[in-house]
Amino acid sequence: MSQPQLWRFHGGLKLDPRTAGPAGEPIGLVPVPKRLVLPLSQHVGQPAEPVVSPGERVLKGQPIARPGGYIGAKVHASSSGTVVEIADHAVPHPSGLAAPCIVIETDGLDEAWSGYEPVPEFASLSAADLRARVRAAGVVGLGGAAFPTAVKLGAGSGLKLLILNGAECEPYICCDELLLRERPESVLTGAQVLLQALEIDRCCIAVEDDKPRAREALENAIAAMGESRIEVVAVPAIYPEGGERQLIKVLTGEEVPARGVPPDIGYLCQNVGTAAAVARAVLHGEPLISRIVTVTGGGVVRPRNLEVRLGTPMADLVQACGGYTEGADHLLMGGAMMGFPLAEDSLPVIKATNCVVVASREEIRPRQPAMPCIRCGEGAEICPAQLLPQQLYWHARAGELDQLDEFHLFDCIECGCCDVVCPSQLPLTQYFRYAKTELWARDRDRIRSDLARERFEARQERLEAEQAARKRRLEEKTRAAEKTRGDEAARKALIDDALERVQARRARDEDAEGNDDAGSGR
């Protein structure tokens, strides 16, 4: 393998990957549960809208909810059974709030729906057709972000490189490594489909340099397929290299502009798991109904990676890993850096669930009490987004939202690096998440009040236009009536004239007759 030149992104941390346990085990399977709870919002964008009703029988792979908008994704039944409820349920989300879900009681038959046509010879399909098939299959980014893949595929023209991200996001997660080791062909076929959908001919798969088995499996599969458009690049294992912006910097030396997206500079990133899901969708007509999840941590007996149906309770995953250890303390979804706590193990696996950490008490030490900021600047040194975390912290704490925008809060990828190095133990990322929520809420309120004002102004304009039209019609009627009255008077004058002339003629005739009679002596 010839290794191209690499660059270094600003900051970042060398972290213990903590994947030794699960990475040593093959991918296992979790049995179909008795109940599947499928949230309508498992992705970035508008929640999906149900297309089934309680009492309806559904088959595995059948669409049960359609996209709620352009930025949205379908939801499919992940096994056959009966829809028993469409209602709010607890879902895995940092807010901890309940959200609408479709609940299916499975029938154990796992009977498949055959509505999507498999296309093994996908070379005959156009880019638009491929995007439509990916959208129909409900594929979203499986790296954790869950952005609808079809929308991303339509994001730009004139791209120069497809980047498949095989660099795990953070410690504990190794689902992508296992996918690359066990199913490299599915990732490569997905890459081929994506290249065709983007109408480009260069793809680079980035894998961390501490995962030689994954790279070897990929390289062997590339050689067996005789595929010259795809190359594998080993990148240094520095957190958070799994971030799109950081990975693009490392591979190309280029920076995605602030508030911009990778297609702005000619690149499109997809996770390797997403590529495999695209291959399944197009070649086999299989929608996204399962994913690989790393189940790990000191609180689970046998950490491993599992292929899991979406909607399966997390407790079933722990069960498939031998159950809880005595030291099990709490659950996280995601990795050690960006993961968030889960209130209970009955929460369902969703499209964004790449990892479930069952943490033991010793493993993740509770945060020490926060102390005042000492302005050491450590956070700025380490920040991969080149922000000033201490400035952001002060303004977030003071509720100065406008200043946060000036300091590019929305470029913060919430990687948590600044939290790790902060000697004052300040929960900086929590402040940034909260401030973003506040800014979004303020934007939403502003949009709502702008809409209300626009609606009011439009109504005023309409009323004024209606009033003016009414006035115009009245004036026209008045003019017409006056004209009619004028016409009648003129006609009457003409008639009077004519009558006068008739009377005058008669009078003249009678006079003439009288004169004749007198003349003839009658």
Task: Assess 376 for contact with ligand SF4 (CB under 6 A).
Answer: yes
Single residue of 194, 358, 385, 404 touching ligand SF4 by CB under 6 A: 385
Q: At what angle do helices 184-198 and 212-225 cross, to 10 degrees?
A: 60
Count H helices, E strands: the chain?
14, 17
Give which of 206, 205, 203, 197 is closest to 157, Cα–Cα.
197
Instruction: Give me the residues paired with residue 271 across strands.
Output: 165
Nearer to ligand SF4, 155 or 373 (CB): 373
Task: Assess 324 for contact with ligand SF4 (CB under 6 A).
Answer: no
- Sequence length of the chain is 522
Which contiguous run of DSSP H or E holds residue 389?
Answer: helix 389-398
Single residue of 61, 171, 273, 379 touching ligand SF4 by CB under 6 A: 379
DSSP codes of every residue in 276-330: HHHHHHHHH---S-EEEEEEESTTBSS-EEEEEETT-BHHHHHHHTT-B-TTEEE
Task: Assess 374 for contact with ligand SF4 (CB under 6 A).
Answer: yes
Single residue of 383, 396, 404, 435 touching ligand SF4 by CB under 6 A: 383
Task: Assess 373 for contact with ligand SF4 (CB under 6 A).
Answer: yes
- Per the structure block, which two tokens stand in for 205? 């798969």
Nearer to ligand SF4, 305 or 390 (CB): 390
Which contiguous run of DSSP H or E holds residue 396?
Answer: helix 389-398
Task: Assess 370 for contact with ligand SF4 (CB under 6 A).
Answer: no
- The region of 148-156, 382-390, 398-406, 496-504 touching ligand SF4 under the rule CB under 6 A is 382-390
Q: At what angle do helices 272-284 and 175-182 cross, to 10 degrees?
A: 50
Task: Assess 428 for contact with ligand SF4 (CB under 6 A).
Answer: yes
Task: Assess 365 for contact with ligand SF4 (CB under 6 A).
Answer: no
Nearer to ligand SF4, 113 or 410 (CB): 410
Task: Assess 65 for contact with ligand SF4 (CB under 6 A).
Answer: no
Task: Assess 403 for contact with ligand SF4 (CB under 6 A).
Answer: no
Give the shortest CB-407-to-ligand SF4 separation in angstroms: 10
Strand runs (DSSP E) across 53-97, as ranges?
A: 57-58, 63-66, 75-76, 81-90
Cβ atoms 43, 146 nearer than 8 A = yes
What is the maximum span of the chain, computed from C-alpha positions, in angstroms? 155
Instruction: Give me the residues paired with residue 233 across strands.
Output: 206
Nearer to ligand SF4, 257 or 423 (CB): 423
Give the shortest CB-169-to-ligand SF4 separation in angstroms: 13
Task: Assess 404 for contact with ligand SF4 (CB under 6 A).
Answer: no
Q: At what angle do helices 127-136 and 272-284 cross, to 10 degrees?
A: 100
Nearer to ligand SF4, 51 or 401 (CB): 401
Task: Assess 401 for contact with ligand SF4 (CB under 6 A).
Answer: no
Nearer to ligand SF4, 266 or 427 (CB): 427
Ranges within 429-448 binding ligand SF4 (CB under 6 A): 429, 432
Task: Assess 163 for contact with ligand SF4 (CB under 6 A).
Answer: no
Interface residue list for ligand SF4 (CB under 6 A): 373-379, 383-385, 387, 389-390, 393, 412-418, 422-424, 426, 428-429, 432
